[in-house]
Amino acid sequence: MPLLACAVLGLAGAAATGTAATTAACADLEIVFARGSGEVPGLGITGTPLVSDVKSALPSASVSSYAVDYAASYDQTSAAIGIRTYLGTGQTIPAELAPRVVAVIAFGNPLGLYGQTIKTAT
């Protein structure tokens, strides 16, 4: 099963220091999307329509997107590589950014091939 993970960040106000969001003016909403395993770089077959649908559903809001830069290979066993390209670390979302996260959605889990699951925070 391909990995398709999406983090939707509400970024109203000041830019998030140390993230890709600092390279441009902040949008009302930024969608950070990691394409599925085996897909070419970009938002992928799920991320592209997701971003389009969110923009259509929120016509009065500015919506931007960021395609996570990672290998998206079937043998990749960690999301840390993709996390580093957006947050600069392989750790969890920094505490100062966490309140601005609207949702995190996983559309698939290649760890299931190894009998593992995605860990959740409590």
pLDDT at 36: 84
Domain contains 122 = no
- Domain range spanning residue 109? 5-114
Query: 114 falls in which pLDDT band (50, 70, 90)?
Result: confident
Give the count of domains, the chain: 1
pTM of the model: 0.67
Domain contains 121 = no
Main-chain phi, psi angles of 21, to 5 degrees: -65, -20
Pick the range with the lowest mean pLDDT from 13-22, 38-47, 63-72, 102-111: 13-22
d(CA 30, CA 96): 16
Domain contains 120 = no
Distances (CA, A) of 54 to 3, 11, 18, 33, 66: 21, 15, 25, 13, 14
**pLDDT tens digits for range 29-86:** 989 888 888 889 999 999 999 999 999 999 999 999 999 888 887 776 666 666 677 7
